[in-house]
A = this chain, B = another copy of it.
Amino acid sequence: MHGTVVMKFGGTSVADAERIRRAAERIVAKREQGLRVVAVLSARGKTTDELIAWAQEISPHPDPREMDMLLSTGERQSCALCAMAINDLGHRAISLTGSQAGIVTDTSHTKARILEVRADRIRQGLDDGAIVLVAGFQGVSTAHDVTTLGRGGSDTTAVALAAAVGADECEIYTDVAGVFSADPRIVPGARKLGMVSFEEMLEMSASGAGVLQLRSVEYARNHGVRIHCRSSFDDAAGTVVVGEDVTVEHPLITAVTHSTGEARVTLLGVPDTPGIAGRLTTALAEANVNVDMIVQNEPVSEGQRADMSFTVPRDELQQAHAALEPLVGEFGIGSIRSDEAMGKVSVVGAGMKTHPGVAAKVFTVLGDEGINIHMISTSPIRISCVIPGEHVPGAVRALHGAFELSGPDTIRPEQPFGEFQS
């Protein structure tokens, strides 16, 4: 008995008939190696963006339940089309919706979390000798409604199915050759990483590396799923994401990541009353706003007021304001300010844990570039700085150079980078 593999294809990998056929051929080739194959597909190319545009044409704030009903159709179309292509290659394929595949989620529409995978129907299909295609990015809620898992959710679908069926590997096929030491669009000399640990990948995904959805990496770490992130356009090995015990090297710095989609919200004159910070962040969480960094300056003396800043994804700024405004009056907060043009640059590396001085070097490098650091946050293996958005490319290049991350395995310039997909 051979093993089982889960293969996930992103939106650009199934963008048109020709690419769908190529994905079908890759899937069939695996099957012909004797493997049991589950493939997870994203929506074709820009389908999800088009569906979102339709919804916005109808309604300024589309109902989230209905948004999920709408958005979930794109992946179903990809799967059905790919199944047709596989059937034409002489293999039997069946496509399943997230619901049919047994992906049970909570009821947080547009950002649902997987609670359970009831993979009986997938196992039945595999036992019958079929290739099983599963629509990514979606599930069925405990209230029996269609849900979606948020941008990049197909990665999480793939990892969750890999865990559920006990796959040997979860292959993520994408339009980049793997995970790089920096975005090659910004740093042409960026190096493809052969292997990274879950912990590093988590920090990289959380700080802007678009290649894998953060939640998929968390899920993989929690369930011990080996991820292989690779190009759908050639057969070269990509980047393997594995447990820290498996990785052989612990470089000081593995990669420089960045994000340009940040907004900063500052609350001026927050009364020094216990519990206010909790109420504010609870209000943001209830509005489904993902707060990243939070910085509060202590009032100088008893009874004075504090200022509090935090960063949110720029496209959630409006919700953040809407959630906070009622509390401004309630608590007598001075005012709210926001800055939409913020970016973030981070250095990530497992070796950082045992090497002090990395933070100092980061700040020095940015200072030498004349870049003003607005906020700082750190983890044992990451240092992130919020900086003005316009300085992000220069900061990435400066840090990548200063930590000498370039290597022989660089990306070919004709290859695109940075697929963000459902």
Contacts and interface: CB of A to CB of B under 8 A. Distances in A.
B144 A58 contact: no
Contacts of A21: 58
A94 B65 contact: yes
Interface in A55-79: 55, 57-60, 62-63, 65-67, 69-70, 72-74, 76-77, 79
Contacts of A308: none
Interface in A26-66: 51, 54-55, 57-60, 62-63, 65-66
Interface in A253-301: none
Interface stretch (A83-91, A167-175, A413-421): A83-91
Given A62-B84, A63-B87, A84-B62, A69 B55 contact: no
A93 B84 CA distance: 35
A70 B81 contact: yes
Contact of A59 (B51, B59, B69, B85): B85
A59 B81 CA distance: 8
A79 B87 contact: no
Contacts of A80: 55, 66-67, 69-70
Contacts of A121: 144
A336 to B, nearest CB: 27
10 contacts: A55-B80, A63-B83, A66-B87, A69-B83, A70-B76, A70-B80, A70-B81, A73-B74, A97-B146, A121-B144
Given A69-B95, A72-B76, 11 more contacts: A17-B57, A55-B81, A58-B81, A59-B87, A63-B83, A63-B84, A66-B80, A66-B81, A66-B84, A73-B76, A121-B144
